[in-house]
Amino acid sequence: MNRQKSYGQGNPELAAYVEDLFQPTDTTLAKFADRSREAGLPEIQVGAMDGRHLEILSRLVRPQRAVEIGTLGGYSGLCIARGMAPGGKLYMFEKSEHHAAVARENLSGAKESGELKVEFEIISGAAIENLANIENEGPFDFVFIDADKQGYPAYLEWAVTHLRVGGVVIGDNTFAWGEVHRTAEKSGRDLAMVGAIHEFNRRVAQHPLLRGTIFPTAEGLTVGVKIHEL
Protein backbone atom coordinates (compact mmCIF):
# COMPACT_ATOMS: atom_id res chain seq x y z
CA MET A 1 0.00 0.00 0.00
CA ASN A 2 1.37 3.44 -0.93
CA ARG A 3 1.16 5.15 2.46
CA GLN A 4 1.81 8.57 0.91
CA LYS A 5 -1.58 8.27 -0.74
CA SER A 6 -3.18 6.79 2.36
CA TYR A 7 -6.85 7.16 3.06
CA GLY A 8 -8.07 10.05 5.18
CA GLN A 9 -6.53 13.15 6.60
CA GLY A 10 -3.43 12.28 8.56
CA ASN A 11 -4.19 9.52 11.04
CA PRO A 12 -2.03 6.58 9.85
CA GLU A 13 -3.71 4.11 12.20
CA LEU A 14 -7.18 4.93 10.88
CA ALA A 15 -5.84 4.80 7.32
CA ALA A 16 -4.36 1.35 7.95
CA TYR A 17 -7.64 0.23 9.54
CA VAL A 18 -9.71 1.30 6.52
CA GLU A 19 -7.24 -0.06 3.93
CA ASP A 20 -6.88 -3.37 5.77
CA LEU A 21 -10.64 -3.71 6.17
CA PHE A 22 -11.68 -2.79 2.62
CA GLN A 23 -8.70 -4.38 0.81
CA PRO A 24 -8.94 -2.02 -2.18
CA THR A 25 -6.09 -3.61 -4.17
CA ASP A 26 -6.75 -6.90 -5.96
CA THR A 27 -4.51 -8.95 -8.22
CA THR A 28 -5.59 -7.18 -11.43
CA LEU A 29 -5.00 -3.69 -10.02
CA ALA A 30 -1.67 -4.84 -8.54
CA LYS A 31 -0.71 -6.21 -11.97
CA PHE A 32 -1.56 -2.84 -13.60
CA ALA A 33 0.64 -1.04 -11.06
CA ASP A 34 3.50 -3.56 -11.39
CA ARG A 35 3.46 -3.52 -15.20
CA SER A 36 3.37 0.30 -15.20
CA ARG A 37 6.35 0.46 -12.82
CA GLU A 38 8.30 -2.06 -14.94
CA ALA A 39 7.61 0.06 -18.04
CA GLY A 40 9.13 3.08 -16.28
CA LEU A 41 5.91 5.01 -15.66
CA PRO A 42 5.91 7.32 -12.62
CA GLU A 43 4.00 5.93 -9.62
CA ILE A 44 1.38 8.65 -9.64
CA GLN A 45 -1.79 6.65 -10.13
CA VAL A 46 -4.62 7.33 -7.67
CA GLY A 47 -4.20 5.87 -4.20
CA ALA A 48 -5.77 2.48 -3.58
CA MET A 49 -8.74 3.83 -1.64
CA ASP A 50 -9.27 6.56 -4.25
CA GLY A 51 -9.43 3.80 -6.85
CA ARG A 52 -12.18 2.27 -4.72
CA HIS A 53 -13.91 5.67 -4.41
CA LEU A 54 -13.92 6.01 -8.20
CA GLU A 55 -15.39 2.54 -8.59
CA ILE A 56 -18.11 3.31 -6.03
CA LEU A 57 -18.97 6.65 -7.67
CA SER A 58 -19.06 4.94 -11.04
CA ARG A 59 -21.31 2.16 -9.70
CA LEU A 60 -23.67 4.82 -8.32
CA VAL A 61 -23.90 6.60 -11.68
CA ARG A 62 -23.69 3.40 -13.79
CA PRO A 63 -22.23 5.31 -16.79
CA GLN A 64 -22.84 4.20 -20.36
CA ARG A 65 -20.36 6.78 -21.60
CA ALA A 66 -17.48 7.90 -19.40
CA VAL A 67 -14.40 10.05 -20.01
CA GLU A 68 -11.04 9.97 -18.27
CA ILE A 69 -8.53 12.79 -18.80
CA GLY A 70 -5.06 11.56 -17.72
CA THR A 71 -4.80 7.77 -17.98
CA LEU A 72 -1.19 6.82 -17.14
CA GLY A 73 -1.16 2.97 -17.11
CA GLY A 74 -4.93 2.50 -16.86
CA TYR A 75 -5.25 1.96 -13.08
CA SER A 76 -8.02 4.48 -12.37
CA GLY A 77 -9.59 3.64 -15.74
CA LEU A 78 -10.11 0.04 -14.65
CA CYS A 79 -11.68 1.26 -11.39
CA ILE A 80 -14.14 3.46 -13.31
CA ALA A 81 -14.84 0.72 -15.86
CA ARG A 82 -15.81 -1.71 -13.11
CA GLY A 83 -18.77 0.48 -12.20
CA MET A 84 -19.99 1.12 -15.74
CA ALA A 85 -23.11 -0.30 -17.36
CA PRO A 86 -22.47 -3.39 -19.53
CA GLY A 87 -21.97 -2.35 -23.14
CA GLY A 88 -20.70 1.08 -22.05
CA LYS A 89 -17.64 2.85 -23.40
CA LEU A 90 -14.80 4.63 -21.63
CA TYR A 91 -12.95 7.33 -23.61
CA MET A 92 -9.46 7.85 -22.20
CA PHE A 93 -7.16 10.78 -22.97
CA GLU A 94 -3.42 10.48 -22.40
CA LYS A 95 -0.71 12.85 -23.64
CA SER A 96 2.19 10.38 -23.55
CA GLU A 97 2.30 7.73 -26.30
CA HIS A 98 4.29 5.49 -23.98
CA HIS A 99 1.79 5.76 -21.10
CA ALA A 100 -1.04 5.16 -23.57
CA ALA A 101 0.68 2.02 -24.90
CA VAL A 102 1.10 0.61 -21.38
CA ALA A 103 -2.54 1.41 -20.53
CA ARG A 104 -3.68 -0.26 -23.76
CA GLU A 105 -1.70 -3.38 -22.90
CA ASN A 106 -3.02 -3.48 -19.31
CA LEU A 107 -6.64 -2.92 -20.32
CA SER A 108 -6.51 -5.32 -23.27
CA GLY A 109 -5.26 -8.01 -20.88
CA ALA A 110 -8.15 -7.28 -18.51
CA LYS A 111 -10.58 -7.45 -21.43
CA GLU A 112 -9.22 -10.79 -22.63
CA SER A 113 -9.50 -12.27 -19.13
CA GLY A 114 -13.13 -11.10 -18.89
CA GLU A 115 -12.34 -8.70 -16.05
CA LEU A 116 -13.13 -5.61 -18.15
CA LYS A 117 -16.66 -5.69 -19.54
CA VAL A 118 -16.89 -2.35 -21.34
CA GLU A 119 -15.31 -0.92 -24.47
CA PHE A 120 -12.42 1.49 -24.12
CA GLU A 121 -10.60 3.85 -26.46
CA ILE A 122 -7.33 5.55 -25.59
CA ILE A 123 -6.74 8.79 -27.46
CA SER A 124 -3.13 9.90 -27.20
CA GLY A 125 -2.05 13.52 -27.37
CA ALA A 126 -3.00 16.65 -25.44
CA ALA A 127 -6.55 16.16 -24.18
CA ILE A 128 -7.66 19.71 -24.87
CA GLU A 129 -6.92 19.22 -28.60
CA ASN A 130 -8.76 15.90 -28.80
CA LEU A 131 -11.85 16.22 -26.62
CA ALA A 132 -13.78 17.81 -29.49
CA ASN A 133 -13.44 14.56 -31.45
CA ILE A 134 -15.80 12.68 -29.09
CA GLU A 135 -18.42 15.38 -28.60
CA ASN A 136 -20.80 13.65 -31.02
CA GLU A 137 -20.75 10.59 -28.73
CA GLY A 138 -22.16 12.61 -25.82
CA PRO A 139 -23.79 13.58 -23.61
CA PHE A 140 -21.57 11.81 -21.09
CA ASP A 141 -22.44 10.41 -17.68
CA PHE A 142 -19.09 10.61 -15.91
CA VAL A 143 -15.90 12.67 -16.43
CA PHE A 144 -12.76 12.05 -14.34
CA ILE A 145 -9.98 14.66 -14.53
CA ASP A 146 -6.47 13.66 -13.44
CA ALA A 147 -4.04 15.20 -15.99
CA ASP A 148 -2.06 18.49 -16.12
CA LYS A 149 -3.28 20.71 -13.29
CA GLN A 150 -3.21 23.94 -15.33
CA GLY A 151 -5.77 22.34 -17.62
CA TYR A 152 -8.34 21.63 -14.89
CA PRO A 153 -10.53 24.74 -15.41
CA ALA A 154 -10.77 24.13 -19.17
CA TYR A 155 -11.51 20.42 -18.66
CA LEU A 156 -14.24 21.39 -16.21
CA GLU A 157 -15.90 23.71 -18.75
CA TRP A 158 -15.80 20.93 -21.35
CA ALA A 159 -17.31 18.48 -18.86
CA VAL A 160 -20.15 20.75 -17.77
CA THR A 161 -21.09 21.38 -21.41
CA HIS A 162 -21.03 17.71 -22.37
CA LEU A 163 -22.46 16.01 -19.26
CA ARG A 164 -26.10 14.99 -19.05
CA VAL A 165 -28.12 16.29 -16.11
CA GLY A 166 -27.31 13.89 -13.24
CA GLY A 167 -23.84 13.23 -14.69
CA VAL A 168 -20.76 13.83 -12.54
CA VAL A 169 -17.40 15.52 -12.98
CA ILE A 170 -14.59 14.51 -10.64
CA GLY A 171 -11.13 16.03 -10.20
CA ASP A 172 -8.26 14.43 -8.27
CA ASN A 173 -5.51 16.16 -6.24
CA THR A 174 -7.75 19.11 -5.50
CA PHE A 175 -6.13 19.94 -2.16
CA ALA A 176 -3.04 20.71 -4.30
CA TRP A 177 -0.73 18.85 -1.92
CA GLY A 178 -2.18 20.74 1.05
CA GLU A 179 -1.56 24.13 -0.59
CA VAL A 180 -4.83 24.97 -2.32
CA HIS A 181 -5.85 27.60 0.24
CA ARG A 182 -2.48 29.39 -0.05
CA THR A 183 -2.69 30.85 -3.56
CA ALA A 184 -1.98 34.36 -2.21
CA GLU A 185 1.49 33.17 -1.11
CA LYS A 186 2.37 31.54 -4.46
CA SER A 187 4.16 32.79 -7.52
CA GLY A 188 5.49 31.42 -10.83
CA ARG A 189 4.95 27.74 -11.54
CA ASP A 190 3.48 27.09 -8.08
CA LEU A 191 0.81 29.72 -8.63
CA ALA A 192 0.03 28.31 -12.08
CA MET A 193 -0.56 24.83 -10.60
CA VAL A 194 -2.14 25.64 -7.25
CA GLY A 195 -4.08 28.59 -8.70
CA ALA A 196 -5.55 26.42 -11.47
CA ILE A 197 -6.71 23.83 -8.94
CA HIS A 198 -8.22 26.57 -6.77
CA GLU A 199 -9.98 27.98 -9.84
CA PHE A 200 -11.33 24.50 -10.66
CA ASN A 201 -12.68 24.12 -7.10
CA ARG A 202 -14.12 27.64 -7.14
CA ARG A 203 -15.96 26.97 -10.38
CA VAL A 204 -17.36 23.64 -9.10
CA ALA A 205 -18.50 25.40 -5.91
CA GLN A 206 -20.11 28.36 -7.69
CA HIS A 207 -21.21 26.98 -11.04
CA PRO A 208 -24.95 27.51 -11.58
CA LEU A 209 -25.26 24.14 -13.34
CA LEU A 210 -23.44 22.12 -10.66
CA ARG A 211 -23.81 21.02 -7.04
CA GLY A 212 -20.39 20.16 -5.68
CA THR A 213 -18.17 19.23 -2.78
CA ILE A 214 -14.62 18.13 -2.06
CA PHE A 215 -14.47 14.69 -0.51
CA PRO A 216 -11.71 14.84 2.12
CA THR A 217 -9.57 12.05 0.77
CA ALA A 218 -5.80 12.27 1.33
CA GLU A 219 -5.39 14.28 -1.90
CA GLY A 220 -8.83 15.90 -2.19
CA LEU A 221 -11.43 14.57 -4.63
CA THR A 222 -13.72 17.29 -5.97
CA VAL A 223 -17.07 16.03 -7.22
CA GLY A 224 -19.74 18.04 -9.03
CA VAL A 225 -23.14 16.79 -10.17
CA LYS A 226 -24.83 18.54 -13.09
CA ILE A 227 -28.22 19.62 -11.81
CA HIS A 228 -29.58 21.73 -14.71
CA GLU A 229 -29.18 22.31 -18.41
CA LEU A 230 -28.49 25.91 -19.39
Ligand X SMILES: C[S@@+](CC[C@H](N)C(=O)[O-])C[C@H]1O[C@@H](n2cnc3c(N)ncnc32)[C@H](O)[C@@H]1O
The least CB distance from residue 230 to ligand X, in Å, is 26
Residue 163 CB, nearest distance to ligand X (Å)?
19
Nearest distance, CB of residue 210 and ligand X, angstroms: 21
Q: Please tell me the distance from the alpha carbon of residue 57 to that of residue 39, in angstroms, as a whole number.
A: 29
Question: Minimal distance in Å, beta carbon 107 to ligand X?
Answer: 11
Closer residue to ligand X, CB minimum distance, 2 or 209: 2
Which is nearer to ligand X, 44 or 209 (by Cβ)? 44
Q: 224 and 181 in contact (C-beta within 8 Å)?
A: no
Instruction: Report the distance separating Cα 75 and Cα 31, nearest Å.
Output: 9
Residues near ligand X (CB under 6 A)? 44-46, 70-72, 75-76, 93-96, 99, 126-127, 146-148, 151
**With contact defined as beta carbons under 8 Å apart, do 49 and 19 qualify?**
yes
In the bound state with ligand X, the residue whose beta carbon lies nearer, of 71 and 201, is: 71
Strands (E), the chain: 65-69, 89-94, 119-124, 140-145, 163-172, 210-215, 221-226
> 148 or 209, CB closer to ligand X?
148
Q: What is the rounded (10 degree) CA torsion for 51, 56, 62, 66?
A: -20
